[in-house]
Amino acid sequence: MSKTAAFFQYLILMMSALFVVPCFASDPMDDVFSMLGQGGTRSGVSEMDGYYVVAMGTSNRSSKAKGIEEARIDALRQLNEMINGVTASGSTHVSMSYTTLSDGAKQHEFSEERFIDVVNTSFSGSLSAVKMLHSGKFKDEHFVALAITEADIVKVGRLKSAPSRSGGAVSATVVETVAAFSSHEKSVEAKGLASMKSGEAKAREEALLDAIRNAVQQAQGVMLSGKSGQFNDAVSMAISTKTQGYVSSYEVLDEDIERGQYYVVLVANVNQGKLLHDASFYLDVLGNARFSIQSDNRQKSQWLIDELQGLGFSITEDASAATHTFRLQQHQRSVEDHKGAKGIETALSIDLIDDHTGNIVLSVVNEPMKTRIYVTPESRAKQVSEHQAYKQMGKKMGLEVIQSLAAHAEQGEVYPIILHNANRNDTAIFRHVLENSTEGSVENWAWDKSGKTMTLNYRFSGSLSQAFDQGLDEIYQTFKVEGKGRRPHLKALNERDAVFEIL
């Protein structure tokens, strides 16, 4: 018997033993509205669902797709903690510090012993029959409410394979669950440094952030050590601006001022599951990007190619095979200073264009005023000014490209999922599975009655093949139980859409 089923049987037995009979039935959705702004978990009894547990997760990320996903994982964590429990482990760090005071010829030595207790928590197990009740935004926070009910657990039990007719052993292999959650935190010791130029309070804050960033980078380096190093530096850039989101807690072991710098030594609990998820996501996004080049200055096209290849990206001469296009524009103009001296300044702009949508993903520009060169002859001024402009661009372009690609991918892309010969029940099954067994969501749909064709506009952060790696088996399994004799046949799956025929 699964832990989830045992949990609900335990609730039933306890209430029976206490002769507690609810005078009215509640509804999971009522709990959702009462939890807005608070989160947490609620349990109750419903006439339709039996015993149930509702959990609400929240996220304050600016990206809707990432915020909803983070809130969903938070809700799953709470459900898992309530049903499967928490495993805690601890360790104690002992350190000894010595101080020597000199009083003339006499010396006095003092020692101090420190004991630092670090507690790690981890969650294990899986949850089956989890469904999404509601998601949205409340007071600038994304939220997701998930529920697990007695009635749905019974339905999941029906997905087990039937007993052998030959009288042999009964197979009880359960189909892969719609939603599963696992998380592991790793304790990492790290040191952070900051200059005292801005004052002690500001220096301490910056040293803490530097230590947290170093702890995350250590954990990330361990995870990526077995992977290809092609995009390791690029992934570090993508993650560098949100390192605090991977640390659930930290303990300061030591802090002081030394040689004009404030230092902090801490032990941070880094969420490896979340870090690995994001690192894998970025590796997939960066690895699938293929670039073509458009340049006003053909002599500088090779500079741009070298910069991109230095970050690990591949460049193609076949524009039709590219996913993105870099457009380099350069303009030089004459300037004059307050003394009447004539010079040259150079303006550069680099646009990154999504070849599928035509949208500009990012624009990077230099600061033309810092390229003003007043030398003669004019040809020399143009040459030096151009060199200064590209030197400026080279310093910031790599970080801008990596983080913009990551942010663009986090927003997700809308893929049409086309269902031929579909009815309402077919559509409902696809929507339910896509929204509960994958990390994407169905934004809207269009119905063509004449051809019995339904088009679901599905937003997903990643490739469409990756989405169906998560959800295709679940679609087939759900149709076996809920499809009323109908089954889907995948006719086409490409980079931009998927086509199914319902038979």
Question: Per-residue pLDDT tens for 481-497?
Answer: 888 899 999 998 887 88
- Report the pLDDT value the prediction gives residue 288, as an integer from 0 to 100: 73
The answer to whether residue 96 sits within a structural domain is no
Question: 163 preceded by cis ω (within 30°)?
Answer: no
Q: How many CB atoms lie within 10 A of CB 152?
A: 19
Task: Indicate if the pLDDT at residue 185 is higher than 60.
Answer: yes
Domain end: 241, 261, 286, which one?
Answer: 286
270 and 301 fall within a common domain: no
- Report the pLDDT value the prediction gives residue 447, as an integer from 0 to 100: 85
422 and 337 fall within a common domain: no
pLDDT, averaged across the chain: 76
pLDDT band at 333 (very low <50, low <70, confident <90, very high): very high
Domain end: 370, 394, 409, which one?
Answer: 409
Q: What is the average per-residue pLDDT within 329-347?
A: 92
What percent of the chain has a predicted confidence (pLDDT) above 90?
18
21 and 131 fall within a common domain: yes
- Report the pLDDT value the prediction gives residue 223, as an integer from 0 to 100: 59
Task: Indicate if the pLDDT at residue 262 is higher than 90.
Answer: yes
The answer to whether residue 177 sits within a structural domain is no
The answer to whether residue 79 sits within a structural domain is yes
| 271 membership: H or E segment, kind and range | strand 261-271
358 and 281 fall within a common domain: no
Distance CA 20, CA 108 (A): 71
Task: Indicate if the pLDDT at residue 152 is higher than 50.
Answer: yes
More confident residue, 265 or 461: 265
Distance CA 4, CA 127 (A): 7
Pick from 87-91, 310-314, 403-407: least confident: 87-91
Alpha helices in 53-159 (DSSP H): 64-84, 150-157
188 and 322 fall within a common domain: no
23 and 44 fall within a common domain: yes
pLDDT in tens, 285-302: 677 778 889 887 778 888
Task: Indicate if the pLDDT at residue 427 is higher than 70.
Answer: yes
- Report the pLDDT value the prediction gives residue 309, as an integer from 0 to 100: 82
Distance CA 1, CA 9 (A): 10
The answer to whether residue 10 sits within a structural domain is yes
The answer to whether residue 152 sits within a structural domain is yes
Task: Please state, in angstroms and as integers, the Cα–Cα distance from residue 159 to each residue in 43, 117, 494, following that order.
Answer: 25, 46, 30
Task: Indicate if the pLDDT at residue 204 is higher than 90.
Answer: yes
pLDDT band at 193 (very low <50, low <70, confident <90, very high): very high
Which sign, positive or negative, has the C-alpha torsion 276, 278, 281, 287?
Answer: negative
DSSP 8-state assignment for residue 346: E
pLDDT in tens, 56-115: 988 887 777 677 777 888 888 888 777 766 544 555 445 455 555 555 556 555 555 555
388 and 421 fall within a common domain: no
pLDDT in tens, 458-467: 888 777 887 8
Pick from 233-247, 345-359, 377-391: least confident: 233-247
Range of the domain at 52: 3-89+119-157
7 and 153 fall within a common domain: yes
More confident residue, 429 or 8: 429
The answer to whether residue 170 sits within a structural domain is no
Q: What is the average per-residue pLDDT within 359-366?
A: 86
Contacts of 42 (CB under 8 A, 6+ apart): 31, 34, 35, 53, 54
Task: Indicate if the pLDDT at residue 52 is higher than 80.
Answer: yes
Pick from 2-11, 174-183, 409-418: least confident: 174-183
84 and 34 fall within a common domain: yes
Task: Indicate if the pLDDT at residue 346 is higher than 70.
Answer: yes
The answer to whether residue 75 sits within a structural domain is yes
The answer to whether residue 76 sits within a structural domain is yes
Domain end: 286, 314, 349, which one?
Answer: 286
pLDDT in tens, 162-184: 333 334 333 333 222 223 333 46
- Report the pLDDT value the prediction gives residue 222, as an integer from 0 to 100: 63
251 and 190 fall within a common domain: yes
- Report the pLDDT value the prediction gives residue 160, as an integer from 0 to 100: 44
29 and 143 fall within a common domain: yes
299 and 332 fall within a common domain: yes
Task: Indicate if the pLDDT at residue 345 is higher than 90.
Answer: yes
Q: Give the total number of structural domains in the chain.
A: 4
Q: What is the CATH number of the domain that holds 417?
A: 3.30.1360
Distance CA 317, CA 293 (A): 8
Q: What is the CATH number of the domain that holds 345?
A: 3.30.160
